[in-house]
Amino acid sequence: MVFSGVALTGASVEEHVRTAVEAERDGYTTGWVTEVSGADAVTVMAAAAIATTTLRLSTGIVSTYVRSPYLAAMTFHSLADLSGGRVAAGFGTSTPAIVTGWHGIPFERPLATTREFVDLFRKLLAGERVKSSGRFEIRGASLRGPAKGGPMRVYLAALNDGMLSLAGEIADGVILNFPTPGYARHALEVLDASLARAGRSRESFEVVANFRAGTGDFDGLANVLRRELVTYLLAPVYQKVFTADGFGDEVKIALERWGAGDRATAVSGISDAFVDEHSAFGTEEEVLARVQGFLDLGIDSAVLFPVVADGPDRKARELATIRALGPRTH
């Protein structure tokens, strides 16, 4: 098995659920739910939980800023009950543009906020009565008993060394996004060092990586991915990662064009090399071989983010890609 997980995507909740049903049918073990500007992750997970019977479901990710630890614990407690314990929680900081620009919440002290959030979330899910005087002030809150299914796995999305180290210290796994081989090696080194300092076993820790993957004509797939890459490139943390990947000049030029209002050129100017380094496009065999290379490096679980070219029947072609690259086909 190369891809064990798949991102549940779609223009509507119904399309997300179709993806979950297809993923379960095709032998994937986990469906990962994102949350940006479309359907909220909680609604999608609840609907997917009802429509499936074996597929594990996890957020991948929701922000630690836009829900309190108590609301998050209440939500995942309910999802665990609804799914029979088939859920995990993937958290990340998101970006200032989303947290502050869209939600109106200050983006402050990401490492400290994440550490405190995860600690409170776990205690609440375990049924403890919690008091806290930190960033999240809680005055004796508790839920009605522990969540169904036992302790819930918590994943952290991480890019920089600080968040990678924190994940190795406190989380059950980490989620990497747009990894290159060089970045994957570095991330694994940082994680291994953090796990060792914390006296934790690598075997109990899961390294998950997201891959934008698709089969067919490179140009058609690349045109779609360029639009997504630019949205990430606008975030300072991704600017640092993409620069470390060797694309600092492209990052600078794209930002200048975007800032000048020339957004179309900012997108079209992303090079084929940039796209290729941050994707897995080609024949089915080429895609799977490329992702297998990351598993050989030490990545534990690969998540498919299906990419299809613009055109009609987009959702049908996404589902076909999921089938073509799925465990039951390969």
Per-residue tokens: 282: 């080609």
Name the superfamily (CATH) of residues 3-216+283-324.
Answer: Luciferase-like domain (3.20.20.30)
User: Nearest-CA neighbor of 282 among 208, 219, 209?
Assistant: 219
Per-residue tokens: 312: 């009609």
Could you tell me the residue ranges of all domains in the chain? 3-216+283-324, 218-278
pLDDT at 134: 92
DSSP 157: E
User: Looking at the DSSP assignment, which residues form a beta bridge with residue 156?
Assistant: 91, 174
d(CA 168, CA 189): 11
d(CA 301, CA 256): 36
User: Looking at the DSSP assignment, which residues form a beta bridge with residue 207?
Assistant: 174
pLDDT at 330: 81
- Please list the ranges in the chain whose pLDDT falls under 70: none
Cβ 91 vs Cβ 59: under 8 Å:
yes
pTM over 0.85: yes
d(CA 294, CA 184): 8
List, for residues 216-273, the tens digit of each pLDDT value. 999 999 999 999 999 999 999 999 999 999 999 999 999 999 999 999 999 999 999 9
